[in-house]
Amino acid sequence: MLPILPTYVPAIFILCTIATLFFFYWILKNSPITSSSRIKFFGGLIIWLLIQGLIAKSGFYAEDLDALPPNFALAFGPPFIFMIALFFTKKGRKFIDSLPLYQVTWLNVVRIPVEIGLFCLAAGGAIPELMTFAGRNFDIIAGITAPLIAYFGIKKGKIGRIGLIIWNVAMLLLLMGIIVNALLSAPTPVQQFAFETPNYGVLFFPYNWLPSFIVPIVFFGHLVSIRQLMGKKSVVALNLNEQ
């Protein structure tokens, strides 16, 4: 069972999810895609959130923890499959290359309140400490540095293309590190550590929105940025729409 947590803890994750959703809407709004495409994509995200909310509320993810693959694969599997499909289709790549890097970089700011939420979950015994900035999770660095990278690197062009690539790769590696720790500390047959306090909280609503929505969106943002930066000859050539 999920430990009883203060009301502000689920509120943090709900607000983080809403913030991520509207950050992505801001990204779509500033891309040259058609209004209908924007509505379809944004609508799909909302439907996905509702589906994930209902699944988690039903208790499905916390059932049969010995199953292989684990039930929780339904939370993070589809988003990453969809992400891969975008990169391997012509229309998908066109969509990816249309997204404005300035807004995509700002998206990482949501990682600050997410880290605060994770710390609160750990304090309540719902996840292990290693998943917080007090343990092995240094993901908050991405959230803190994102405004500086967006302003000086994208808007002002002071950092340079190589510097932007290095930042995105480094922050992506931070994210991948916490993903690995989260998977290996979850109460499944592949669990490797944190047996005293497993990563149990993310199996429940609204915390399941973190691995099923927030993390894939942020992960996608870094892949988008790296692809665009590696495909350009200079930062000046980037789409720097700041509205």
Q: For residue 199, tell me if it sits in a domain.
A: yes
Q: For residue 1, tell me if it sits in a domain.
A: no
Q: For residue 214, tell me if it sits in a domain.
A: yes
**Spatial separation of the C-alpha atoms in residues 187 and 189, rounded to whole Å:** 7
Q: For residue 3, tell me if it sits in a domain.
A: no
Q: For residue 242, tell me if it sits in a domain.
A: no
Range(s) of the domain holding residue 130: 8-237
Task: Give a three-class secondary structure readout of 84-149.
Answer: HHHHCCHHHHHHHHHCCHHHHHHHHHHHHHHHHHHHHHHHCCCCCHHHCCCCCCCCHHHHHHHHHH
Q: What is the pLDDT along the chain (243 residues), one digit of tens a residue?
A: 788 889 999 999 999 999 999 999 999 999 998 898 899 999 999 999 999 999 999 999 988 888 888 898 999 999 999 999 999 999 999 999 999 999 999 999 999 999 999 999 999 999 999 999 988 899 999 999 999 999 999 998 888 899 999 999 999 999 999 999 999 998 888 888 888 889 989 999 999 999 999 999 999 999 999 999 998 544 444 444 433
Q: For residue 243, tell me if it sits in a domain.
A: no
Q: For residue 2, tell me if it sits in a domain.
A: no
Tokens for 54, please give them: 């209902």
Report the domain count for the chain: 1
Q: For residue 110, tell me if it sits in a domain.
A: yes
Write the CA distances from 103 to 67, 120, 145, 184, 240, integer angstroms.
40, 28, 14, 32, 9
